[in-house]
Structure 1
Amino acid sequence: MNISLHMERLILTGVDLPSSQRGLLQASVEAELSRLLSEGGVGAGLARGALLSQLDGPPIEITAGADPVQLGRQIAQSVYGGIAP
């Protein structure tokens, strides 16, 4: 199964992430989401080609000075929580 996911925008309210760490965050989100999708797949609707214009995943708890790699994993897990089977 081929899965195509396009995230136009990711809004992180109250997160102070230096621009130098945004690449790490993005790579971490992509890697973790790829792992979750390959291991667990998607819900039946999405598997049939349904589109989502917006996704509200489960909330995550962010601590000050959060590591961008760990934060990326948490974000990916939240996104996956909104599309998981």
Structure 2
Amino acid sequence: MNINIDIEKLILEGVPISHSQARLLQAEVEHELAKLLANEGLPDNLLSGGVVPGGAIQLKPGINTSQMGQQIAQEIYRGMKP
């Protein structure tokens, strides 16, 4: 099964992040989300497609780019569940 996910926009307000860190963050979000989907599967409510609205995510203070990407991906995956 192929799963295509399109994250239209990810806005980080108040997070000082360089262009190179943004690329690392994107890669980490993609990696963690792929890992979650591989391990836990696509929620049944999205098997035939759908849209998952975004929301605000409160990032833990003092986390690095990798941890930030993991947290964002985990929140996105939680948002996929009914």
TM-score (norm 1): 0.81
Structure 2, unpaired ranges of 5+? none
Q: Which runs of 4+ in 1 moved over 2 A?
A: 53-57, 59-62
The CA RMSD over aligned residues, in Å, is 1.9
* Distance in 2 (alpha carbons) for counterparts of 1:44 and 1:55: 19
Q: How many residues end up aligned between the 2 structures?
A: 82
| Counterparts of 2:26 and 2:54, CA distance in 1 | 18
| Deviation string, structure 1 residues 10-40 (Cα, Å, up to 9, x no partner) | 1122211122211111110010000001111
Write the distance in 1 (CA, Å) between the matches of 2:32 and 2:52.
21
Identity %: 40
| TM-superposed deviation, 1:53 | 5.9
Q: For residues 18 and 73 of structure 1, what CA distance do their matches in structure 2 show?
A: 18
Task: Give the equivalent residue in structure 2 for 1:48.
Answer: 48
Q: TM-score, normalised by structure 2?
A: 0.84
The alpha-carbon deviation at position 55 of structure 1 amounts to 2.4
